[in-house]
Chains A and B, each alone.
Chain A
């Protein structure tokens, strides 16, 4: 646990000093939001209905970039080998990386979600508590899977391999967001169940399988 905390602090301080990951993620997120909103070209009264899909499509692609960056850093100067010979369990490395990714994605959501509300004429304040639950569950599930696959994609150019695996998460988050926007959390219980299962299964799977991915 202390090892995981050390990894988390290391990643956070690198990010704090360079702010490279966050800025690239935010710019890409903003660009995607603009492109998707312009492409739909919805009249103001129909725009709010697009919010769930626009939000999560943007999240997915920016998230892929952000999580992968965290591992590209480890490749420079062969830092990953340094981590592996350090007296830290690979599972703890996974947990630390996962926490760092969740934090990065949460900051990204903090900027992207209000912009979705702004672009698509949506008042987010009344539905905020429910929305926060969906955002947190979606963030955790995505980061759990993406952290595992980021370690793969720094070696093999195959980042998109994990896209089909994320489809249930996408269906769950979009459906839950739609229900939350329509009338609060109670409508979203089925979708939230799917998301919770996804989070638990892939956090555990990542925790168990990470050692096989980084082993040399």
Chain B
């Protein structure tokens, strides 16, 4: 599994890149810059997945105190913030030629930046608190509260003005994705980025497990040296 997973991720990623840059036709109105959309939207999906994983793993951790759940929550928060940052970088690159501005306080943009801030502050809390067991509980509470905030954020930002295109709209002439290859490219990109995200999370969980084992071994040797001396 440990061998297969990276290989599958690499192949899917290459396929996604091939589709986005070689196969998909150039969008008629927006031109070449539209190609960033496939990774922009996929990153957003991966970021959301990460944030919901944080809440789920946090709830499990509060319920039974499992170390694995706590490690998963931390890894998912880091990966979620990473992909959310990618959304916030790729978005303005697209928005500048299309909207004429890098940034606007459109509901979706506002929501994304708030979510980014919530989980960035989650990582801050962990970084400031250190290895204290209480800090892990605080982080879990914040992880859950953050996801509870998502629906309210979604409703509240509608009180602001909006101009973001609907990606997969159901009404008024359907989505902007006219060519079937565009839809295929979006799905493959989404799978590719979710695989990359999962792979990173898996590596991150393993790294923190090893770090904990190291710390435990160090404590043990120090205790033994104390006995000898």
By CB atoms of chain B within 10 A, which of A168, A175, A190 has the most?
A168
B15 on the interface (CB 8 Å rule)? no
Are A167 and B124 neighbours in the complex by a CB distance under 8 Å?
no
Q: Which residue on chain B has the smallest CB distance to residue A178?
A: B159
B10 on the interface (CB 8 Å rule)? no
Chain B residues near A175: list those with CB within 8 A. Answer: 159
A 189-216 contacts with B by CB, 8 A: 190-191, 193-194, 197-198, 201-202, 205, 209, 212-213, 215-216
By CB atoms of chain A within 10 A, which of B114, B128, B137, B145 has the most?
B145
Chain B residues near A156: list those with CB within 8 A. Answer: 125, 128-129, 135, 138
Are B144 and A209 neighbours in the complex by a CB distance under 8 Å?
yes
A126 on the interface (CB 8 Å rule)? no
Contacts A157-B128, A191-B159; A213 near B149 (Cβ below 8 A): no
Are B121 and A212 neighbours in the complex by a CB distance under 8 Å?
no
Chain A residues near B152: list those with CB within 8 A. Answer: 168, 194, 197-198, 201
B101 on the interface (CB 8 Å rule)? no
B177 on the interface (CB 8 Å rule)? no
B 139-195 contacts with A by CB, 8 A: 140-142, 144-146, 148-149, 151-153, 155-160
Chain B residues near A172: list those with CB within 8 A. Answer: 156, 159
Are B137 and A213 neighbours in the complex by a CB distance under 8 Å?
yes
Interface size class of B (residues with CB under 8 A): 20 to 34
A 122-150 contacts with B by CB, 8 A: 145, 148
B36 on the interface (CB 8 Å rule)? no
Are A164 and B118 neighbours in the complex by a CB distance under 8 Å?
yes
A163 on the interface (CB 8 Å rule)? yes
CA distance A165 to B121 in the complex (A): 10
CA distance A191 to B122 in the complex (A): 27
Are B159 and A194 neighbours in the complex by a CB distance under 8 Å?
yes
Are B148 and A205 neighbours in the complex by a CB distance under 8 Å?
yes
A115 on the interface (CB 8 Å rule)? no
CA distance A11 to B125 in the complex (A): 28
Output the least CB separation between A17 and chain B (Å): 31
Output the least CB separation between B84 and chain A (Å): 12
Are A213 and B138 neighbours in the complex by a CB distance under 8 Å?
yes
Are A164 and B145 neighbours in the complex by a CB distance under 8 Å?
no
A19 on the interface (CB 8 Å rule)? no
- Which residue numbers of A lie inside 8 Å of B, CB to CB? 145, 148, 152, 155-158, 160-165, 167-168, 171-172, 175, 190-191, 193-194, 197-198, 201-202, 205, 209, 212-213, 215-216
A-B contact pairs, 25 of them (CB 8 A): A145-B145, A148-B145, A152-B141, A158-B124, A158-B125, A158-B129, A161-B122, A161-B124, A167-B114, A167-B117, A167-B153, A168-B155, A168-B156, A171-B156, A171-B159, A172-B159, A175-B159, A193-B155, A197-B152, A202-B148, A205-B148, A209-B62, A212-B62, A212-B140, A213-B141
- Known contacts A160-B121, A194-B155, A194-B156; can you find 13 more A-B pairs with CB under 8 A? A145-B145, A158-B121, A158-B124, A161-B124, A165-B118, A168-B155, A171-B157, A171-B159, A171-B160, A191-B159, A194-B152, A209-B141, A212-B141
